[in-house]
């Protein structure tokens, strides 16, 4: 009898450990958070605000899934691209956030080169929040990874597009980001947009409450995107310097059929067009969008290959040239035609 009881107890223990009806028992390990300060040292532990690292590079190399990197206010001069390449998960992202104020990550020391980006995100589930990114040799932030977030950042004076999603970048959420005064000097401003989601992106990319102002080329550029991009409450103004095109929202290119969606977006005082179809052969949707004081506010001269464009509650005013709306269902709009 005693032997049977011992065997029963042993089997119950094995069942619990192995999973069985009771589920597996997995020990939980809390990720380590790290701190960065201009007064820190990379020989510090980095795990408290009283013993911070000096560089973001050290904190990023130390971080694991679930870590938050707290960046103290101040200016950090960086000459190498900060590469974020780890595969994290939705429950354990790596976050790089301001500890206080708006820390400045200054890449002005980089030479002007296609490879000299500020942040390059090829990994998944990263968040960058409340940072000011200045002067990168190319893009301020370049994203090819999946499920990444950029929130409440300022990107300015980079030598190509401020924030760009390309080459399969997917499920990117860009919220409350300002991208301004970006200019590519060697090509007289032809390429530097505020934001771009172009050249074979993945699915699920969203921009919300983002502002693109005073950039040399376009505010938002979706050239040959390859998948749908959605915009909510975004604004583009005063874009187009020297050889730059100067569109507020360029929503196509290379005859790609992408059914982009824009809601409550405003395009003001851009050099060329407020909202430009730019050879997109998809069916575009614009809801409650306003073009004000652009050379042409709405320029949609081509009917989509399938279906119709949808314009609802859109307003055009103070344009220097007339609007073009073709192959569309138009409801409660005011255009200059």
Which positions are annotated as active-site residues? 250
- Measured in Å, how far apart are the chain's first and last C-alpha atoms? 95
Please give the sequence-ordered ranges of beta strands (E in DSSP) within 144-234, or none if there are none: 149-151, 154-156, 163-165, 173-175, 178-180, 195-197, 205-208, 211-213, 220-221, 229-232
Contact 231, 258 (CB under 8 A): no
Contact 203, 225 (CB under 8 A): no
**46-55, long-range: CB within 8 Å, 24+ apart, which pairs?**
49/99
266: which 2 tokens?
A: 């405003």
Distances (CA, A) of 144 to 46, 101, 178, 308: 29, 28, 20, 31
Rounded Cα distance, 181 and 161, in Å: 10
Beta-bridge partners for 17: none
Cβ neighbours around 194 below 10 Å, total: 33
């Amino acid at each position: 009898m005693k032997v049977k009881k011992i065997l029963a107890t042993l089997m119950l223990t094995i069942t619990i450990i192995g999973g069985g009806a009771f589920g597996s028992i997995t020990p939980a390990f809390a990720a380590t958070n790290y701190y960065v300060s201009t007064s820190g040292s990379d020989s510090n532990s980095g795990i408290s605000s009283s013993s911070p690292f000096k560089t973001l590079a050290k904190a990023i190399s130390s971080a694991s899934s679930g870590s938050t990197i707290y960046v103290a206010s101040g200016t950090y001069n960086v000459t190498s691209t900060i590469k974020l390449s780890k595969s994290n998960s939705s429950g354990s992202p790596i976050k790089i956030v301001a500890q206080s104020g708006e820390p400045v990550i200054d890449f002005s020391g980089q030479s002007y080169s296609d490879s000299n980006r500020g942040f390059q995100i090829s990994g998944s589930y990263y968040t960058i929040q409340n940072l000011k990114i200045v002067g990168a040799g190319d893009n301020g932030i370049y994203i090819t990874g999946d499920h990444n977030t950029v929130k409440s950042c300022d990107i300015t004076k980079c030598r190509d597009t401020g924030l760009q999603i390309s080459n399969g970048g997917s499920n990117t959420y860009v919220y409350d980001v300002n991208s301004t005064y970006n200019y590519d000097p060697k090509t007289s401003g032809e390429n530097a947009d505020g934001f771009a989601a172009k050249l074979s992106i993945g699915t699920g990319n969203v921009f919300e409450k983002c502002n693109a102002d005073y950039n040399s080329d376009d505010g938002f550029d979706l050239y040959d995107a390859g998948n749908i991009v959605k915009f909510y409450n975004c604004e583009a103004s005063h874009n187009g310097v020297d050889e730059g095109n100067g569109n507020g929202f360029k929503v196509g290119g290379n005859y790609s059929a992408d059914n982009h969606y824009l809601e409550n977006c405003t395009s003001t005082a851009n050099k060329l067009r407020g909202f430009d179809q730019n050879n997109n052969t998809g069916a575009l949707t614009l809801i409650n969008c306003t073009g004000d004081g652009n050379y042409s506010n709405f320029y949609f001269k081509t009917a989509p290959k399938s279906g119709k464009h949808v314009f609802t509650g859109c307003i055009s005013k103070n344009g220097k040239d007339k609007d073009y709306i073709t192959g569309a269902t138009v409801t409660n709009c005011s255009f200059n035609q």
